[in-house]
Amino acid sequence: MSALTTCLGFPRIGSDRELKKALESYWGKRTTADDLQATARELRRRHWITMKQAGIDHVPSNDFSLYDHVLDTAVMLGAIPARFRGIADPMARYFAMARGLQDPATGTDVAALEMTKWFDTNYHFLVPELEPEQTFTLDPARILVEIDEARAAGVEPRPVVLGPISFLMLSKLAQGAAGTSTLALLDRAMPAYERLLGLLATAGIRWIQLDEPCLVTDLADDARVAYRRALARLSRWPVRPKILLATYFGDLLSNLPLVVHMGLDAIHVDLVRAPQQLDQLLPVLDQTAIVSLGVVDGRNVWRTDLDAAHALVHRAVAQIGVDRVWVAPSCSLVHAPVDLERERGLDDELRSWLAFAVQKLAEVRALAGAASSSAPTGEAFDAARAALTARRRSPRVTAPAVRRRITQLGDAMLRRASPFASRVAAQRARLQLPLLPTTTIGSFPQTADVRGARAAWRGGKLSDADYQTFLRGETTRCIARQEALGLDMLVHGEFERTDMVEHFGQLLAGFAFTEHGWVQSYGSRCVKPPILFGDVSRPRPMTVEWARFAQSLTARPVKGMLTGPVTILQWSFVRDDQPRRDTCLQIALALRDEVGDLEAAGIAAIQVDEPAIREGLPLRRRDHADYLRWAVDAFRLATSSVRDDTQIHTHMCYSEFGDILGAIGELDADVLSIETSRSRMELFGDFARVAYPNEVGPGVYDIHSPRVPTTDEIHDLLVRAAAVLPAARLWVNPDCGLKTRGWPEVEQALARMVEAARRMRREVAG
């Protein structure tokens, strides 16, 4: 007998990134809001039919979003900050919350909501801003419309809603509000959720999926109390659909008692990240409750070991019966590429090792069909066994020379020759920079001309020599523009790079690449992670020629630009056949070689970006120390070979750093640049608390918004920063790279940034 199948969510962007293109066309005023909504409707219809045809019994709705599902939840609950309420058009208001809005015609100038990482993924969500006396007013229109759309497509949907506790825990109080926890707003929020349950029941909905991912984190007492109260209220609501409580990205552990015996109808658990929790859950599960088993990895691209997954499914079936077991991916498939069938450039061997979202649905169906069998057979199981065996035996996976280098690592390779206090004097003597030096994070706008030239080159319509000439021209103009703006430390602009991880993966051994393996990072921003399948090494220098060329164009220092080992690891689809630590150290060794070559080429400052170091932090405190140890070691292995007068920079963005600032200090980077503009320097206060010892560049320009900050705004942020750290240890820079912005707004914003820095210098000198 087969078990039922389900899916927690499907990729939103479309197999050809249709959502990205529709959003950017709408923002560029080339198409209308109706055009955007038409694209969204067609994508939803296509995804529902794909899931139904794949044999998924419980198909999700409301998992689609025009920008971000947490933002959607805030809008659904009426949690719209005061600065946006004057924007009458709902769609304009929605995107103003996501991206900010600067409209000289109406005088509207509002900053976007803060953005941060969704747990330990590279997906970014918008942080809802709540007032201490927040009023929640349910707006269910979008959910109800999508139910009608799904039924018109022949699908009976299960709406997906972010649960009340996770919503509140992921929110923040508006700046200036103090003394209140967002969880204190639970009683204000619950009536909206209860009303939603009633409306869905009236609409004939049988099931609702309530996502509560915070249940796999370490919870304080107030959160535990809040969970008990909220789940009890919802489960006892007299007119409601059945509730599937979905957890993912880890295990319930001590939070398990918060969800059992609460009257919930089904519980989803992630058995990819935490297979051990199945044996903890089954003995205490309510006698009629269903368990949804997340046995197919929703966050990676490797083919599932169907035999290992089946063992978990069959164990549950044997204990509680097949009618109480569902089979599912571990989490929403929004973190996976859409369809492996579109990949024509991968060789057959590597292709046989992979599964994208569509293929993962087929794996779920195969596992459900074999749920009651003690010895599963059939084409799907045979193909999986053959592919897994071939992958384990493939000589492409291991490189003996790389493994020998790893065994030769020693502590001396993880330390700079001198402490920061000695290095900083040597660096200032060499670089001759002013107080509060200005710089950027690395990339400059990737214009239509840049993208067009790259496409022509890849398509064989532009020769290698002509493409190199084009890139040299772009780099030359970029250096000239930076000099004209008055920036103190320059960058080459990265016009040869598509992506800060994919670019390096293409130059390192052990990586493979897709044509259509896109996943959503935030809004319209999509990334195409490389597939890290084997041991990593550097066949030849990767960035030295571009750094040397850029430095030849100017007397000002030009930074060499590298992506750090942890970020390359985190933003790739990483091999699952060895510890992540081992893979990270291999990447670090390859980068160490590159850092050495950049220094030998005369580059005085080298930036090794680690925006993903906080993202990689495990969700449970018990696992923090081990991860931080090897993450710090990997960065230091990559950077510690340079002389005292060579300045090492790193960059981090869109994460809460307060709880790992000790480890960030241990990186021992000479200069750390971070994102702080959306939070108005709120995150920067932690640097004073831990007495951060080195130099810092707190971001003063939000590059994820099209609005241009005023000089006064930037100056105000610098004043706030100087109240935390001495001006002598501060740099001035944007939050992140500028590749997604246009030149007019970039030049205007950077000119204001330079002017604000100069004003601040005069004030400090005075």
Structurally, at CATH architecture level, domain 4-393 sits in Alpha-Beta Barrel (3.20)
Ranges of residues in the chain with a pLDDT under 50 are none
CB atoms within 10 A of CB 48: 26
Residue numbers annotated as active site: 704
pLDDT tens digits, 234-281: 999 999 999 999 999 999 999 999 999 999 999 999 999 999 999 999
Q: Residue 196: helix, strand or coil by DSSP?
A: helix
**Alpha-helix residue ranges (DSSP H) falling in 340-417:** 348-352, 357-369, 379-393, 400-407
Two structure tokens written together for 402: 């790389």
Residue 226: the pLDDT is 98
Two structure tokens written together for 122: 């590279």
Residue 703: the pLDDT is 84
Q: Which fold has domain 419-765?
A: TIM Barrel (3.20.20)
- Beta-bridged to residue 531, according to DSSP, are 512, 573
Residue 177: the pLDDT is 61
650 with 595: CB under 8 angstroms?
no
Cα of 80 vs its chain's centroid, Å? 24
Residue 162: the pLDDT is 98
Widest CA span in the chain: 81
pLDDT tens digits, 532-573: 999 999 999 999 999 999 999 999 999 999 999 999 999 999
Q: Where are the domains of the chain?
A: 4-393, 419-765
Residue 655: the pLDDT is 59
Two structure tokens written together for 540: 């030849």
Q: Do domains 4-393 and 419-765 have the same CATH topology?
A: yes
d(CA 19, CA 210): 25
d(CA 452, CA 447): 8
Residue 176: the pLDDT is 57
Could you give the C-alpha distances from 695 to 428, 439, 567, 633, 714, in angstroms and in order? 12, 13, 21, 20, 19
